[in-house]
Structure 1
Amino acid sequence: MRQKLKLDEGDRVAFIEDNGKIVITKASILALRELQKEIGQEAENQGIYEEDLQDELEKVREDMWYERKR
């Protein structure tokens, strides 16, 4: 079980009920998923959508590319 979940000594696990099934996962992965969900909801509440972030990321990459070429 440890190998399957890639658990190290001291890692914590979480038990989640999903459609009548019990799922065991690393607690750190669960915490990260919850954080991503909360960040996504807050961004959406503020009118920021994934497409906006992708567009902005592309602009930043272009700026960085041109900066390196100088």
Structure 2
Amino acid sequence: MEVSRVTSKGQVTIPKAIREQLKLQEGDKLAFIEENGKILLTKSSTIALRQFFDSMNMEAEEKGVTEENLLNDLEEVREEMWNGQRK
């Protein structure tokens, strides 16, 4: 467990081990998410990626696309490319 102190300006230093684990770099943006009375800290880019995946999943569900359909289509494209039928 890592501990940090809040300054009079409400600032907190993120411990080095946590910065390394999240691969934080200077200038990165962070998101604070309240979940069941706890606060989660993550890179905001992670949130954007999660939202993108969620929207793609919703769109796929609306169109009736399944993982099995996608894998079958991918296999067909691979075979076409392997056999030189697709450019």
Instruction: Please classify the TM superposition score into its range, dividing by the shorter chain length.
Output: 0.7 to 0.9
1:37 aligns with 2:41: no
> How many Å separate the matches in 2 of 1:53 and 1:30?
25
Gap runs ≥5 in structure 1: none
Aligned length: 68
Normalising by structure 1, we get a TM-score of 0.83
Greater gyration radius: 2
Higher relative contact order (Cα pairs below 8 Å, separated by 6+ residues): 1
Aligned sequence identity (%):
51
> How many Å separate the matches in 2 of 1:23 and 1:34?
16
Normalising by structure 2, we get a TM-score of 0.69
Gap runs ≥5 in structure 2: 1-17
Report the equivalent of 1:60: 77
Larger helix percent = 1
Report the equivalent of 1:26: 43
> How many Å separate the matches in 2 of 1:11 and 1:49?
35
